[in-house]
Chain A
Amino acid sequence: MSRRPKAVAAPPPKLAKCPSGIRGFDDITGGGFPRGRPTLICGGSGSGKTLLGLQFLVRGIEEHGEPGVFMGFEEREKDLAENVASLGFDLPALIADKKLVLEQVTIDRDEIPETGEYNLDGLFIRLGLAIDEVGAKRVVLDTIEALFAALTNLRTLRSELRRLFVWLKEKGVTAIVTAERGDGSLTRHGLEEYVSDCVILLDQKVTDEIATRRLRIVKYRGSAHGTNEYPFLIEEHGFTVLPITAIGLNYPVSRDVVSTGVAKLDAMLAGKGYFRGGTLLLSGTAGTGKTSIAASFIHAGCQRGERCIYFTFEESPDQLVRNMHSISINLERWIDKGVLRIAASRPTSNGLEVHLSAMLNLVDQFKPQIVVLDPVSSFEAAGTALDATAMLMRLVDLLKARQITAMFTSLASAGRPAEQGEAGISSLVDTWLVVRNLEQAGERTRALSIIKSRGMNHSNQARELLLTSKGVDMAEVFIGPNGGLVTGSARIAQEMADRAAATALKQDISRKQAAMARKGRLTEARIAEMRDELAAEAMEFKLKIATQTSTDSKQTSDRASMMRQREQAGGAPARRVRGGAG
């Protein structure tokens, strides 16, 4: 007896999936078609049902080593091979390799007389033979509904179809059954009744004269799946579904920073630049230098030896190269070196999905580290704003997943605050720069500010953007007397005024310094004079004292000698002398 606690109910076995070989499809279905079960693909004529089926088989052989059988009820075998050869599917080679069987079931044009009970064993035998010949794991029946035109006994046909799908399941093959779209129902003959494990609808919508193919998973028993309508494309690489949310938000992020190509702009972005693999939005009105900033970024990237693609939707490559010469950026050099690719196309020349796919193809082929789209706002002309946003979201996701630093420029329409534009993608981007036209003192100048830069301590100050013959530069910040940013010649005037004031101050100081010095000197002189005077006085005084002393001593000695004389002459006391005379 096991002592283990009561066994936790094992999760129900996960439905096995069969990789579809269709780019993007496995992402929205969690792995592909239900393995070992039939899947119904319905859609109008020309919606890509046959191609989807064939791609499923061809990729199954090429990528998963799973041989396949294609049983066609409509297109002729030869036509089929020719039609898909342009997509790089070499059916004859696969057939020769015994990996693929093309079964062409010819439906007689005339009604076949029915003379009693019958079944479709002939078809079963034929399909079974084909499956066994190559050991097929994948089967496509295209379009089995054609049988409805050939057979009149619908009761028999329906029961035989039911039997066929059961039989296919028993065979363990993953099957795709295509059917024509019916009016008000998924299929014209109600095939969804028999094939109910997985039903996929292909559709084509025309909005504003631009056609978009769309795919929707109507149901997928036992599996989570995306419920949206997903745009899909049929182009040189075959059938591609473009899921919006395929990648999810789990791409690796980089802490590396790449220079913007403008030193002072780097300084504004925490002194370094943009995050590698980040998405940058550069918006502004016409003529604000968006392309120049983008070109500087590309230029810096190429200098570091990184590969770059510049998608331009308004200028031709030559025009771009020429224009950038005016700010000393030589893009030609990088093109010649093979590190830069400029891809130009008109947004309206194709549907958005075609653009997206073409861009992705080029990205996957060129493997750039940096991609610029200039400008993305022009995509609104190729679809609705909503479609354009959805497409850009997908592009952002796909580029992020590839760790490609992407810069989108966006033309903000005049009269609309730049911050309000691009509402669709601004929340997706990591760094958002806005360039504004300022008009003051009769001239237009450009001011660049950083609206956001995720994960970065960026400058909050608006700076004047300068497009000089030496490249893109930023002016020092000048705040005018009223607190606003001062730019252009007003800035220059302000600079001059500031310089003049500084000069005046300097002159004033030196003048004052001279005056002080003079005053000092004067004082010194007067001190010296007074000192001389004092010395002179002292001298005089000394002299006087000396004279006085000598006179005194003379008088004393004189008196003494007089006394002696008197005593000798009269012998009379002095008092007698005095009285005698009186």
Chain B
Amino acid sequence: MRRAARGLIHEGPVTTAVPDAEPLAKWDLRLYVAGQSPRSLAAIANLKMLCEEHLAGEYQIEVIDLLKTPQLSRDDQIMAIPTLVRRLPAPIRKIIGDLSDTESTLVGLQLRRPPATKRA
């Protein structure tokens, strides 16, 4: 595993997120926000923190501002802001909210089993 391209945060829909055309990171995440609202900023921060903690070196994050590229709200079927899309590993999963609830974010990303099972 090379670390060079990991942990990058790209702003905007960039397919060249990985400069050296390597295979994509194991975790490919996209976060849809609208402008620089406190909620958006909180979501970005929460996501970063969470990734560093649980997916260090294995993730890439693409932040998409729908105010700049509204077309993507259609293409990616985004209703709620913020929405986090797990593009890899398959299958695609969507999580909405500012990711302040770390527990349910981890469950949503399938990094942790649902609480009911876990607590049992």
Q: Do A and B bind each other?
A: yes
Minimal Cβ-Cβ distance residue in A for B92: A108
Q: Which residues of B contact A130 (CB under 8 A)?
A: 74
Within 8 A of A (CB), among B29-71: 32, 34, 39, 42-43, 46, 66-67, 70-71
Complexed CA–CA distance, A119 and B98 (Å): 10
Contacts of A103 in B (CB 8 A): 74
Q: Does A112 contact B (CB under 8 A)?
A: yes
Instruction: Name, among A105, A115, A117, A126, the residue most crowded by chain B CB atoms within 10 Å (CB to CB).
Output: A115
Is A106 positioned at the interface, with any CB of B under 8 Å from its CB? yes
Number of A-B contacts defined by CB within 8 Å:
95
In the complex formed, the residue of B with least CB distance to A152 is: B96
CA A129 to CA B42, docked complex, whole Å: 26
CA distance A118 to B105 in the complex (A): 14
Q: Which of B1-9, B10-18, B19-27, B79-87 binds A?
A: B79-87
Residue among A121, A125, A128 facing the most chain B CB atoms (10 A cut-off)? A121
Partner of A116, one of B74, B77, B98: B98
Contact between B107 and A122, CB atoms less than 8 A apart: no
A115 B99 Cβ-Cβ under 8 A: yes
Q: Chain B residues with Cβ under 8 A from A170's Cβ? A: none
Given the known A-B contacts A113-B107, A115-B108, A151-B80, are A126 and B100 also in contact in the complex, defined by CB atoms under 8 Å? no
B contact residues around A106 at 8 Å (CB): 77
User: Mostly helix, strand, loop or mixed at chain A's interface?
Assistant: mixed
Q: How large is the interface on A (under 10, 10 to 19, 20 to 34, 35 or more residues)?
A: 20 to 34
Assembled-state Cα–Cα distance A507/B107 (Å): 125
B89 contacts A by Cβ under 8 Å: no
Name the interface size band of chain B: 20 to 34
Decide: A129 and B79 in contact? CB cutoff 8 A: no
Once the chains bind, are A116 and B100 in contact (CB under 8 Å)? yes
Whether B77 pairs with A115 at a CB distance below 8 angstroms is no
Q: Chain B's nearest CB lies how many Å from the CB of A154?
A: 14
- Is there a chain B Cβ closer than 8 Å to A574's Cβ? no
Closest Cβ–Cβ distance, residue B50 to chain A (whole Å)? 10
The answer, yes or no, to whether A114 is at the interface (CB within 8 Å) is yes
A108 partner, pick from B84, B94, B99, B102, beta carbons under 8 A: B94
Of all chain B residues, the one with the shortest Cβ separation from A147 is B79
* Contact in complex: B80, A119 (CB < 8 Å): yes
Q: Is the CB of A126 within 8 A of B73?
A: yes
Complex: A74 Cα to B4 Cα, angstroms: 45
Tell me if B66 and A125 are in contact (CB < 8 A). Answer: yes
Task: Write the chain B residue with the least CB distance to A150.
Answer: B79
A207 to chain B, nearest CB (A): 42
Which of B34, B39, B104 touches A114 (beta carbons < 8 Å)? Answer: B104
Contact B66 A115 (CB under 8 A): no
Given contacts A125-B73, A126-B73, A113 and B104 within 8 Å (CB-CB): yes
What's the least CB distance linking A555 to chain B, in Å?
Answer: 173
Q: Is the CB of A118 within 8 A of B34?
A: no
Residue pair A120, B104 in contact (C-beta under 8 Å):
no
Residue of A nearest to B75 (CB): A126
Q: Which residue of B lies closest to A160 (CB)?
A: B80
Q: Once bound together, how far apart are the Cα atoms of A190 and B42, in whole Å?
A: 32
Instruction: Decide if A122 touches B104 in the complex (CB within 8 Å).
Output: no
Instruction: Judge whether B81 and A118 touch: CB under 8 Å.
Output: yes
Q: How far is the CA of A125 from the CA of B74 in the complex (A)?
A: 9
B78 sits at the interface (CB 8 A): yes
Residues of A within 8 A of B82 (CB): 118
Complex: A123 Cα to B67 Cα, angstroms: 12
Interface presence of B95 (CB below 8 A)? yes
- B97 contact set on A, CB distance < 8 A: 113-118
Give chain B residues whose Cβ lies under 8 Å from the Cβ of A122.
32, 34, 66, 73, 78-81, 83
Which chain A residues lie closer than 8 Å to B79 at the CB level? 105, 120, 122-123, 126, 147, 150
B residues near A, CB below 8 A?
A: 32, 34, 39, 42-43, 46, 66-67, 70-71, 73-74, 77-84, 94-102, 104-105, 107-108
Besides A105-B77, A116-B100, A125-B73, 7 other CB < 8 A contacts?
A: A112-B80, A112-B95, A113-B108, A114-B96, A117-B98, A121-B66, A122-B80
Closest 6 pairs (CB-CB, A-B): A113-B108, A116-B100, A116-B97, A122-B78, A115-B97, A121-B81
